[in-house]
Amino acid sequence: MSTQRARRTALRPAALISSLAIVAAVGCSDSVAPTNLAQQNAPQPAGLPSWQQLKDALTTAQKEGTNGNGGLGFDMWGTVVDRNGTVVAVAFTGANVGDQWPASRVISAQKANTANSLSLTGFALSTANLFAATQPGGSLFGLQFSNPVDPAVAYAGNSGDYGTQKDAMVGNKIGGINVFGGGLALYASDGTLLGAIGVSGDLSCADHIIAWKTRHTLTLDFVPAGVADSGADDNIIFDIDSTGKSAGGFGHPTCNDSTTSIGKALPQTNPIGKVQQQKAGG
């Protein structure tokens, strides 16, 4: 064996160990530094809530409990995305990160992405409006399998930062399509579509109710039109019969009697805002 070949062979174990160390570091999400530090320090997108505003509004809605929201009264996750689908804020209502279902962090982001990406300036679709249409035989069947969540964004960063201002999802695009209650588009008072909010952690009907109330508290519910309430809004629709068919094509399953009654009454108890029309000539 030549001296040069022997030197190359001797170097291989060291190189292999170095490579394995790099792979191990990358494979452990808690050891990967967030790649969005500059974005986290960027100015808050105009019109969208800050992390503190989201947390406060979400907590206020969740505290109404089973009497006000139906459902199980569980703590919740909430995520806001901007119109580009970039995560702006992630928050939870419990005292600690484990007080709400861990899976609901990413589900809330997925719901926000869905409501944003399937709503328009003049027309809103909530995630609750998508259930019936995405079932076998429905007009949107297969939609739920499109545009998957990006796991590199969903699970990046330190787990201890989840739901805080340092959450590694912030500043990144999460993706995902969700087809049950909890995702709502966010509209400013002039009708501008700013992005969306997603809420998760309870029964899906309660998720929708809490998202609706959170949006109302944030005064970002100037919804222009939708498929619910004779085209007025994006409320949850309970019109699925015993055969599983939705009369209007945009129905959502009932969860329990209380969420059904509370959900139907949302446009009266927490009415959407009326868009302020711009006067000609300024």
DSSP string, 205-258: HHHHHHHHHHHHHTT-B-----SBTTTTB------B-TTS-BSSS-------HH
> Residue 261: CB partners within 8 Å, gap ≥ 6?
70
Over 50: is that where the pLDDT of 185 sits?
A: yes
Residues 120-161 have pLDDT tens digits of 999 999 999 999 999 998 889 989 888 899 999 999 999 999
Its pTM stands at 0.84
CATH number of 43-269: 3.30.450.150
Domain boundary assignment for the chain? 1-32, 43-269
Mean predicted confidence (pLDDT) in 13-39: 40
Residues 64-75 have pLDDT tens digits of 999 999 999 999
Q: Please report the beta strands in the chain, taking only residues with DSSP state E, as ranges in sequence order.
A: 77-82, 87-92, 183-187, 193-200
CA-closest candidate to residue 156, choices 174, 144, 177, 179: 174
Q: What is the DSSP string of 81-98?
A: EETTSBEEEEEESSSSGG
**Res. 276 pLDDT band, cuts 50 70 90:** confident
Instruction: Give 221's strand partners.
Output: 187
